[in-house]
Structure 1
């Protein structure tokens, strides 16, 4: 989990790279830092799978459609879906103070109104972080992955030595709360992995079950996502899988296939496959998992000024089409799943590295997939 970051808008890059004989997924591969890439698309015309490079630099085998891999922050889409399902069941309200749905010890750690130095906050003691603000990344809470020492130890140069260590969610929250908030609650959008760590804790407090158990019962099992799982502290990937590679702050790649994903938790621990991701987002966007009002809230980007909804964000293409989905980054892996508003046209693509993916190559891939050719 190099940063569990998200992208929100595709810039207008070169869209003319693909030809009849060449898939744009090939441009995601880099000889030194990105060994392999794959793309799975589906629409009314069928399912198409393209791959480039290799899944394993030692054996040279290609990436297969059913390979398991880590999906990082796409975990947030599942966590947001479960939270909104709980809201529809009136087990929580999105405008509840989050402190009312957390263990007392964790709630006591949250900043009180005025802790960020805002006089207006001090004059309004009723203003607190809400469940909605966690979902939309407008809580103002510092992201624990922005802590420099933590990042260097677990995602930077220290990754190899510390990759198998176990992290408790409350300890990660404490790391975040040693820093002042980015802003007052609701004041502005700032992507924070701490928000979704707390939502994972909210799910346990409200249901009595872990977020993984609830997600399996409510999302994974009903959709028959047979390649999708929450590994918890398990370091290995389920079979079949290729390898994952990290640059860990250098230009040389190292194998990052095995790691303890508890450092990501509810913000990014999920394992999945390309077919499962398409099925998940297709079902979500078509309204299978949520009633229409909650799905509209999920795509409402008002609070973030167009950048993020609740576990979904819009991607605007050069041809003026808007897609909905999420991406994820974790040590050794980057993936993005996007679909049309009706969920009928979908694409998931991934690389087996955490090295930066060429933005123009991503734009070319999405433009070739979704923009009508002149």
Structure 2
């Protein structure tokens, strides 16, 4: 989900943690990637950061920087769990495309046929429009909380999918379906409801049976209404102003029913990379459905069906998704052939970590010689979470 509930960067509040740990293994470009990961915590943009870069099945670099808890000394666990935010959408899109391959739904089916009466103009909104954010349906998080304090009061509440959709449905449509592009979490709540309607199972069960178990993603979970990250993890914080000073509020515990299929899943860098490798490597979808996913992205956004395209300065094409949820930001990408992947999670604090992420991406996939310099500064990472 989008980071609408975060305060803007303010003050020069001292970060009481900045130690980095050596990578669990150093191969390939690991020596160049670790300093870039350290930038996130050294500049105060994050309290912790972890990453994994895979180049083929055997060449793996993992890195960790910062600390597990604000003001503490225990290093951030390199294999820690984290909330992946909108990277969840790529899992959801994969399940929908699997169902399409099985003939259970067509991407051109109108929403009214499958989930009648939930949003205006549902007779003109198709499954494809939902997957590609071309439905024109408003983004429900914009109206879910009034400000940071309101979020902190309500973050433990259980929300139903119908409740979330109704919030967006009460707003005027943004545009006629298929005529423009606007990122909307509501689209993926509707897709979660569609998965449950078509399979007769909860989304949590469907994604587990179709993706998590077959790939052996033992550290990935769709948590439903479970408030906790159950395993080793770095804590995420929100900067909250009190009496003119900025204080950290731990937001690691929250009710994931609010983001649900738009951004509620939990994973690790290793599991996220294995998922993207399997997806782009053709192990999760038949060729026709994989072509649907990546074959015709929206020109203005690069967004396909649950995944976005980014062409790097060195010419390498990536398919990726980003994710932002209170306390955690995620970047996950793979080369188009599924050979190499990069997954990064950090717990944002004060400042912008985009530059360090950009450096990690270009260095990992292009090498420092071609991934830096003027060409890289002109590259913009998509904001999809």
TM-score bracket, normalised by the shorter chain, equals 0.7 to 0.9
How does 1:265-280 map onto structure 2 within 5 Å?
265-280=260-275
Q: 1:248 to 1:208 in 2, by over 3 A?
A: farther
Partner of 2:135: 139
C-alpha displacement of 1:66:
2.3
TM-score (normalised: structure 1): 0.85
How does 1:14-93 map onto structure 2 within 5 Å?
23-29=35-41, 32=44, 34-44=46-56, 46-93=59-106
C-alpha displacement of 1:306:
4.9
Query: Counterparts of 1:249 and 1:301 in 2: how far apart (Å)?
Result: 44
Partner of 1:318: 313
Query: Counterparts of 1:264 and 1:205 in 2: how far apart (Å)?
Result: 19
SS at match of 1:262: coil
Is 1:359 the counterpart of 2:354? The answer is yes
Query: Counterparts of 2:292 and 2:350 in 1: how far apart (Å)?
Result: 33
Bigger relative CO (Cα 8 Å, ≥ 6 apart): 1
SS at match of 2:320: strand
CA contact (8 A) 1:33 1:253 kept: no
Partner of 2:252: 257
CA contact (8 A) 1:188 1:304 kept: no
C-alpha displacement of 1:247:
2.4
C-alpha displacement of 1:367:
1.4
Is 1:151 the counterpart of 2:145? The answer is yes
C-alpha displacement of 1:112:
2.8
Query: Counterparts of 1:169 and 1:101 in 2: how far apart (Å)?
Result: 15
Q: 1:260 to 1:308 in 2, by over 3 A?
A: same
SS at match of 2:313: coil
Query: Counterparts of 1:167 and 1:21 in 2: how far apart (Å)?
Result: 40
Partner of 2:120: 111
With 313-322 and 355-364 compared, the bigger mean Cα shift is at 355-364
Gaps of at least 5 residues in structure 1 are 6-17, 114-126
SS at match of 1:351: strand
Partner of 1:193: 185
Partner of 1:285: 280
Query: What per-residue deviation string (whole Å, max 9, x for no partner) do you get for residues 87-118 of structure 1?
Result: 0000000000012112xxxx2132137xxxxx
Query: Counterparts of 1:290 and 1:27 in 2: how far apart (Å)?
Result: 37
CA contact (8 A) 1:129 1:185 kept: yes
Report the aligned-residue RMSD.
2.2
Q: 1:21 to 1:51 in 2, by over 3 A?
A: same
Partner of 1:341: 336
Q: How many residues align?
A: 341
Q: 1:128 to 1:94 in 2, by over 3 A?
A: same
SS at match of 1:335: strand
SS at match of 1:87: helix
SS at match of 1:349: strand
Partner of 2:294: 299
Gaps of at least 5 residues in structure 2 are 6-29, 370-385
1:206 to 198, 202, 206: 198
Q: 1:249 to 1:151 in 2, by over 3 A?
A: farther
Query: Counterparts of 2:79 and 2:33 in 1: how far apart (Å)?
Result: 24
CA contact (8 A) 1:330 1:354 kept: no
C-alpha displacement of 1:339:
1.1
TM-score (normalised: structure 2): 0.83
Comparing both structures, which one devotes a greater share of its residues to strand? 2
